[in-house]
Amino acid sequence: MPSLDLSTSSIELTRAICDIPSVSDDERTLADAITDAISSLAHLDLYRDGDTIVARTDTGKAQRVVIAGHIDTVPINNNLPTRVIDVDGEPMLWGRGTVDMKAGVAVQLKLAAELVDPRVDITWMWYDHEEVAAHLNGLTRLAKTRPDLFAGDFAILGEPSNGDIEGGCNGNIRAIVRTSGVRAHSARAWIGENAIHKVAPILMRLSEYRPKTVAVDGLEYREGLNAVRIAGGIAGNVIPDACEVEVNYRFAPNKNSDEAESHMRDVFAGFDLEVIDVADGARPGLDAPLAKEFIAAVGGEPRPKYGWTDVARFSALGVPAVNYGPGDPHLAHHDNEQVPLSQIESVERGLRAWLSKS
């Protein structure tokens, strides 16, 4: 079994974690390595549920912070093992998972080992199946079996944020908009009704749609409504009787999923619409006392998180949460994933300084 040396630098630890493949549904080897690395740490109480690992300090501090990161990645595409490259004089660690989000996990593991008596009690969570359907997510499972482990006054998710604080996240809803017709031989098309042709108004509404930028608690969230898939057609000589357009709506956290669905139904009034996936967003949570202290310690200007992240799970449980991790989110899932070595070190310094502060 691969082993992890938590005494090494966060950069070397990132390389070691990335070089253990852990595509969603294949996290066991990395989860075992993490468990083995932290099981001997006397200051942490360890709990494991499948390939989700939770480690907690219990020093009796008045406040608790939850710090979480997922250990799975999207599929590998000739981008492992990792290597250090130079980009305009900046050393970068290249390879699958360096951005999303094993550099963040490496920083967390190193600090979990070294912070024996932090300023607040800490619950560390490393979980599986983040990159796939929500019902498979390790946090979804854990929330059902051990909701008590989510208790905290503030939460930090190590999603890539370029080493800056990103508050909250947009909500996400996917729906299928359908058209129907009548099958016929394409040589006698007038006998049938072409369902593919009938999606033209749907695409027109999407092309004319102007997404909003919505201010929520001091941060501006950009929305988006886009077609992401079209499916239709039977054979090269058949007029199709059905067509589907999958539409993705990223909505600002000033509205809930019911309001987002209502908006989609208004946009596509007159068409059959079925919601197939939905997740509420999360408000920034930057007015929480610990959040203010964290912002002051790390510095910089907080920004909004446009993509959905698991901060929404904590927000739904009443725990204010932010995203804070190394890596450019624009490179998440990109085959050219790469993270500046300086960002890994910077995020480690930021978290260490705040968590160690007396």
Both 26 and 152 in one domain: the answer is yes
pLDDT digits (tens, 9 = 90+) for 69-91: 999 999 999 999 999 999 999 99
> What does the pLDDT read at residue 300?
86
pLDDT digits (tens, 9 = 90+) for 49-64: 999 999 999 999 999 9
DSSP 203: H
Compute the C-alpha angle 340/65/21, nearest 5°: 45
Does 72 participate in catalysis according to the annotation?
yes
Q: Which of 235, 256, 279 is the last residue of a domain?
A: 279
Q: Where are the alpha helices (DSSP H) in the chain?
A: 10-18, 28-38, 103-114, 138-145, 200-208, 257-267, 289-298, 311-316, 341-356
What residues have CB less than 8 Å from 71, skipping those under 6 apart? 17, 22, 27, 30, 31, 34, 51, 102, 105, 126, 127, 128
Q: Is residue 245 part of a domain?
A: yes
Q: Is residue 232 part of a domain?
A: yes
Both 197 and 296 in one domain: the answer is no
Distance CA 343, CA 57 (A): 26
Both 208 and 132 in one domain: the answer is no
> What does the pLDDT read at residue 307?
87
> What does the pLDDT read at residue 15?
98
Q: Is residue 248 part of a domain?
A: yes
Both 163 and 34 in one domain: the answer is yes
Both 57 and 111 in one domain: the answer is yes
Both 84 and 188 in one domain: the answer is no
Candidates 51, 72, 131, 337; catalytic one: 72
Beta bridge partners of 124: 55, 67
Q: Which of 224, 255, 279 is the last residue of a domain?
A: 279
Contact of 255 with 268, CB cutoff 8 Å: no
Q: Which domain CATH number covers 161?
A: 3.40.630.10
- Residues of the chain scoring pLDDT < 70: 358
Both 193 and 299 in one domain: the answer is no
Compute the C-alpha angle 300/301/303, nearest 5°: 130
Contact of 96 with 79, CB cutoff 8 Å: yes
> What does the pLDDT read at residue 358?
58
Residue 252: domain span: 171-279
Q: Is residue 5 part of a domain?
A: no
Candidates 51, 100, 121, 130; catalytic one: 130
Say how many residues make up the chain.
Answer: 358
Both 273 and 286 in one domain: the answer is no
Contact of 12 with 19, CB cutoff 8 Å: no
> What does the pLDDT read at residue 226?
98
DSSP 344: H
Both 210 and 264 in one domain: the answer is yes
DSSP 192: S
Side chain identity at residue 296, one-letter code? A
The count of domains in the chain is: 2
Query: What would the two tokens of residue 160 be?
Result: 């890539």
Contact of 286 with 295, CB cutoff 8 Å: yes
pTM given for the model: 0.89
Q: Are strands 213-216 and 219-222 parallel, antiparallel or unpaired?
A: antiparallel
Distance CA 170, CA 155 (A): 17
What residues have CB less than 8 Å from 142, skipping those under 6 apart? 49, 52, 54, 125, 127, 149, 150
Q: Which of 279, 304, 338 is the last residue of a domain?
A: 279
Both 212 and 227 in one domain: the answer is yes
Whole-Å CA distances, 239 to 25, 46, 107, 200 = 40, 60, 56, 16
Q: Which domain CATH number covers 182?
A: 3.30.70.360
> What does the pLDDT read at residue 69?
98
Both 291 and 148 in one domain: the answer is yes
Both 164 and 224 in one domain: the answer is no
> What does the pLDDT read at residue 134?
82
For the four alpha carbons of 334, 340, 345 and 350, in that order, the dihedral sign comes to: negative
Q: What is the 3-state secondary structure (H, E, C) of 266-296?
A: HHCCCCEEEEEEEECCECCCCCCHHHHHHHH
